[in-house]
Structure 1
Amino acid sequence: MDKDLLPKRSFAQKYHVRGIGGTILFFFLLWGSAVMTGVNWGDFFTNLDQFFDLLSRMAHPAWDYTNIVIQPIIETIQMALIGTTIGTLIAIPFSVLAARNLVKNPIVRGIIRFILNLVRTLPDLLLAALFVAVVGIGSTAGVWTLAVFSFGMISKLFYETIETIDDGPLEALRAAGANNVQVVVFAVIPQVLNSFVSYFLYTFEINVRASTVLGYLGAGGIGVYLQRSLSSFRYDQTAVIVIAILLVVIVIDAVSNKLRERLQ
Structure 2
Amino acid sequence: MGSIQHRSAGVWHRTRSWFWGLLIVIVYVWGIFGINFSKIQSSAGAVTKAVLMGIIHPDWHYVYQGNGEDLVSVMLQTLAIAFVGTIISALISIPFAFWAAKRRRHHFSVLSTSGRIVLAVVRTFPEIVLAIMFIKAVGPGAFAGVLALGVHSVGMLGKLFAESIEAIDAGPGESILSVGGNAVNGLVFATLPQVLPAFASYSLYRFEISVRSATILGMVGAGGVGTPLLFAIQTRSWNRVGIILIGIIITVTIIDYLSGWLRKQLG
Compute the TM-score of the two structures, normalised by the length of structure 1.
0.83
TM-fit CA distance, 1:184? 2.6
Separation of aligned partners in 2, 1:31 and 1:72 = 43
Q: In the superposition, relative to structure 1, how do residues 150 and 176 fare at CA in structure 2: closer, same or farther (>3 Å)?
A: same
Q: Which residue of 1 aligns with 2:185?
A: 182
Q: In the superposition, relative to structure 1, how do residues 236 and 160 fare at CA in structure 2: closer, same or farther (>3 Å)?
A: same
Q: Which residue of 2 aligns with 1:234?
A: 237
Given the alignment, which residue of 76, 90, 96 partners 2:78?
A: 76
Q: Which residue of 2 aligns with 1:61?
A: 58
Separation of aligned partners in 2, 1:168 and 1:65 = 58
- The one-letter code matched in structure 2 to 1:56 is M
- The one-letter code matched in structure 2 to 1:228 is F
The 5 A counterparts of 1:41-190 are: 50-67=47-64, 68-101=70-103, 106-190=109-193
Q: Is the 8 A contact 2:54 2:243 kept in 1?
A: no
Q: In the superposition, relative to structure 1, how do residues 186 and 226 fare at CA in structure 2: closer, same or farther (>3 Å)?
A: same
- The one-letter code matched in structure 1 to 2:83 is L
Separation of aligned partners in 2, 1:19 and 1:101 = 48
Q: In the superposition, relative to structure 1, how do residues 10 and 258 fare at CA in structure 2: closer, same or farther (>3 Å)?
A: same
- The one-letter code matched in structure 2 to 1:219 is A
Separation of aligned partners in 2, 1:118 and 1:28 = 34
Deviations 1:219-252 (A, max 9, x none): 0111111111111110101111111122221222
- The one-letter code matched in structure 1 to 2:62 is Y
Q: Is the 8 A contact 2:50 2:238 kept in 1?
A: no
Separation of aligned partners in 2, 1:170 and 1:41 = 63
Q: Secondary structure at the match of 2:57?
A: coil
Q: Is the 8 A contact 1:87 1:151 kept in 2?
A: yes
TM-fit CA distance, 1:83? 0.6
Q: Which residue of 1 aligns with 2:67?
A: none
Q: Which residue of 2 aligns with 1:40?
A: 36
Q: In the superposition, relative to structure 1, how do residues 39 and 118 fare at CA in structure 2: closer, same or farther (>3 Å)?
A: farther
TM-fit CA distance, 1:15? 11
Q: After alignment, is 50-59 or 222-231 more displaced?
A: 50-59
Q: In the superposition, relative to structure 1, how do residues 57 and 4 fare at CA in structure 2: closer, same or farther (>3 Å)?
A: closer
Q: Is the 8 A contact 1:96 1:102 kept in 2?
A: no
Equivalent pairs: percent with the same residue? 36
Q: Which residue of 2 aligns with 1:243?
A: 246
Q: Secondary structure at the match of 1:160?
A: helix
Q: Secondary structure at the match of 1:165?
A: coil
Q: After alignment, is 23-32 or 144-153 more displaced?
A: 23-32
* Structure 1 residue ranges without an equivalent (≥5): none
The 5 A counterparts of 1:172-211 are: 172-211=175-214
Q: Which residue of 2 aligns with 1:224?
A: 227
Separation of aligned partners in 2, 1:167 and 1:261 = 25
Separation of aligned partners in 1, 2:26 and 2:173 = 47
Q: In the superposition, relative to structure 1, how do residues 60 and 29 fare at CA in structure 2: closer, same or farther (>3 Å)?
A: closer
Q: In the superposition, relative to structure 1, how do residues 181 and 16 fare at CA in structure 2: closer, same or farther (>3 Å)?
A: farther
* Structure 2 residue ranges without an equivalent (≥5): 65-69
TM-fit CA distance, 1:16? 7.5
Compute the TM-score of the two structures, normalised by the length of structure 2.
0.82
